[in-house]
Structure 1
């Protein structure tokens, strides 16, 4: 019997997740989330975090065997 109870609780949890996703999707349609991401992007650019992507490239090139000195 305890196994059945466990199964039921997990399905309920799954339903909760789905409703959460639907709620987020509705917020997207409303433009609330879009506005937040826009503000975040502007803040990141001011801070200088928009260069994060470049760091990944560096790591990838170093992994390939390219010298870091050559890039500088």
Structure 2
């Protein structure tokens, strides 16, 4: 049986945050890293991540998106 032992964050194949056992801390670190490093969400999951950010986490910037605009890649 597989068991989740923790989360980690990697950027371009390099681990930048080591394993940590708390899921909610991982979610916070995940979304925070996009703002700290000024990254856009990947196109494949951008709408889902934007929805989670705005509806569940209450992060609603007055302007701008963390995903590419429609029709741009």
Hey, which of these two has a bigger chunk of strand by percent?
A: 2
User: TM (normalized to structure 1)?
Assistant: 0.31
User: TM (normalized to structure 2)?
Assistant: 0.31
Highest relative contact order (Cα 8 Å, sep 6+), 1 or 2? Answer: 2
Asked which structure has the greater CA Rg, the reply is 1
